[in-house]
Structure 1
Amino acid sequence: MTTLPDDRRWRPAPLIKASALLHAGAVAATILRPEVWPWAAGAVVTDQAMLAIAGLWPRCSLLGPNWKRLPPEAAARGEVAITIDDGPEPKVTPTVLDLLDRHGVTATFFCIGERAMRHPELCREIVQRGHAVENHSLRHRHDFALLGLRGFVREIEAAQDTLAAITGMRPLFFRAPAGLRNPLLDPALCRLDLRLVSWTRRGFDTRDGNAEYVSARLLLGLNGGDILLLHDGNAARTTGGDAVILAVLPRLLDAIAAAKLCPVTLRSVIT
């Protein structure tokens, strides 16, 4: 178990502090020397572009804390986290649960609140079978990264309340839809006592139905501390019409066992 500090007050990341100072400096320079306004405006535009690029990079930590790997203590124990997004999906999730049971391992399911409301019994089954349900937003909005602070809080808190009411366990982690965000997500997560998680490696299994290629991406450099991303919802289909995760998961679990690694839920690392 990793012990994390209890103080969850928001502290701006260095890039955010630098951005605020730059904006203040640009305003002051323009007031004191109006003729420099083109340079000041150019600096502000460049800064905004950098913040936008950081938000479009899911594994970036420049906007705030972001779990790309498990903590060092978990990595040293040979632990890995299998994370499964966009469910629950009645045509896929039950088979995923059976495969996990067959291998005797646990996983973390990042569930969408509205889908959980439609299939509450399936969400409860995930937890009853020893896995964890975490927050993947209420609606998985395509414009999620364009929300403001209030919009983030409303969307994420609604999913928190929904998932907690269904499963009896309040999520501890959040993954942004498609991993995209803006600088206001970090203070929203601090307000809701959630930790942002991205991934070490993903298989691009929402786009690629070739199980061999998806497996190869996930297994390249497999090591303790990895956070691996798959999808039970919105999964690409194999040539046989099945969700590709159903073909990939057995290969992944066999490789993890062969490497003597231990799959764990994210919350088990900190609780």
Structure 2
Amino acid sequence: MNGPTPPGADRTHSRPNPRHADCARRWVPSPFIAGAAALHAGAAAALIAQPATWPWAVGSVAASHLALTAAGLWPRSALLGPNWTRLPAASAASVTSVPGADRRLALTIDDGPDPEITPRVLDLLDEYGAHATFFCIGERARQHPKWIEAIVARGHAVENHSQRHRHTFSVSGPGALRREIEAAQRTLTDISGTRPRFFRAPAGLRNPFLEPVLCALGLQLASWTRRGFDTRERDPQIVTRRLLTGLAPRDILLLHDANSARDALGQPVVLAVLPQVLRAAAEAHYHWITLRAALDAAPVTPVGHGGNAAPFGKIRP
């Protein structure tokens, strides 16, 4: 584990990499999307050639829409496009030159900043010398800009979690998605001084229009490997077990600094869970890394959803 980063020293951005320039990416439809498009075209062609086949045509199109919807409701799915559910493997040079490159974890913290909880989360991260990725909501950032500045000053990364975190995000069209994400890009860039490079959908839910928008804005979708459901589970021990049982190198963990559930004493669950997670990771000699640092350490073409790593084993709080 690394020691605490001095105030104002942003180690997250200390390794610029021209391979991952912040620019638009070319959108390439996933095989799942391409297959759905081909099915639609085939159904239309069949309907024109043989109108009597309309029940088959309508049924097949309806089935494809159901499949596309199901893929969007599965946060860890890569069916609709590249999606980080684990950290990509580090390049050979990184493994050789960076101690602990093969023992990396990513802690992601969503929905903030929160003026009550975010400062306490930052203090806990400092205590353990850990770095995290904060997926922040644009409107909250405008309300509490000093905590965005504090996140960056303490060596963490600020990424895009939409401007308003609306529950209707996953049923929005491409224009609405772009406006929502672009507004958050402007907001978070203005306050943090650094352009977000990752996006996480509200509740992880999305639709086929999202990936082309992210490509146009130069953003990479990221979800998680494991989550504790700390926005609704009030028992910190249950949340902690969900995060630590079977923890493996390159896992991405999800917690929340806003919208955290409260325990029996009325305290935010995240504040009881986070020290246990950080302590267990330190004892297992894991190294916390931000997503953007992992992107810079990846091979030239980052893997969309990580890959497989042998589990370290069962770690208990």
Normalising to structure 1: TM-score of the pair?
0.97
Residue 302 of structure 2 corresponds to none
- 1:78 counterpart = 2:103: yes
CA distance in 2, matches of 1:108, 1:240: 28
The 8 Å contact of residues 20 and 295 in structure 2, kept in 1 or not, is answered as no
- Farther off after superposition, 4-13 or 230-239: 4-13
1:48 to 65, 79, 85: 65
Q: Distance in 1 between matches of 2:20 and 2:139?
A: 32
Shift of the alpha carbon at 1:269? 1.3
Q: Is the CA contact 1:81–1:108 (under 8 Å) kept in the aligned structure 2?
A: yes
Shift of 1:270: 2.0
When normalised by structure 2's length, the TM-score is 0.83
- The answer to whether residue 291 in structure 2 is matched with residue 266 in structure 1 is yes
Q: Which residue of 2 aligns with 1:244?
A: 269
Q: Deviations over 1:148-207 (max 9, x none)?
A: 111111000000000000010000000000000000000000000000000000000000
Q: Distance in 2 between matches of 1:255 and 1:24?
A: 53
1:14: which partner in 2?
Answer: 31
Give the aligned partner of residue 7 of structure 2. none
Partner of 1:110: 135
CA offsets, 1:191-250, max 9 Å, x none? 000000000000000000110000000001111100000000100001111110000000
Partner of 1:25: 42
- 1:36 has 2:53 as partner: yes
Report if the CA contact (8 A) 1:3-1:270 is conserved: no
Which amino acid in the other structure matches residue 243 of structure 1? P
Query: Does the CA contact (< 8 Å) of 1:136 and 1:174 recur in 2?
Result: yes
Alpha-carbon distance between aligned partners in 2 of 1:37 and 1:220, rounded to the nearest angstrom? 51
- The one of 124, 129, 133 equivalent to 1:99 is 124
Superposed displacement of residue 3, structure 1: 8.8
Q: Distance in 1 between matches of 2:113 and 2:250?
A: 25
Secondary structure of 1:121's aligned partner: helix
Q: Shift of residue 4 of structure 1?
A: 6.0
The alignment yields a C-alpha RMSD, in angstroms, of: 1.5
The alpha-carbon distance between structure 1 residues 216 and 243, as it changes in their structure 2 partners (threshold 3 A), is: same
Change over 3 Å in CA distance of 1:21–1:5 after alignment to 2: farther
- Note the C-alpha offset of 1:14: 0.4
Q: Distance in 1 between matches of 2:270 and 2:187?
A: 26
Structure 2 partner of 1:69:
86
Amino acid in structure 1 at the alignment position of 2:26: R
SS of alignment partner, residue 160 of structure 1: helix
Alignment of structure 1 residues 37-186 onto 2, 5 Å: 37-73=54-90, 77-186=102-211
**Offset of residue 8 of structure 1:** 1.6
Match among 280, 288, 295 for residue 255 of structure 1: 280
- Structure 1 regions of 5+ residues with no counterpart? none
Identify unmatched segments of 5+ residues in structure 2: 1-14, 297-317
In structure 1, distance between residues paired with 2:210 and 2:178: 8
Q: 2:224·2:253 contact (CA, 8 Å) conserved in 1?
A: yes
Instruction: Give the drift of 1:5.
Output: 6.7
Deviation at 1:76, TM superposition (A): 5.8
Distance verdict in 2 for CA 1:117–1:105, change over 3 Å: same
Give the Cα–Cα distance (whole angstroms) in 1 for the partners of residues 287 and 254 of structure 2: 16
Q: How many residues align?
A: 271
Aligned equivalents of 1:9 and 1:234: distance in 2? 35
The percent identity for this pair of structures is 58
SS at match of 2:122: helix
Aligned to 1:190: 215
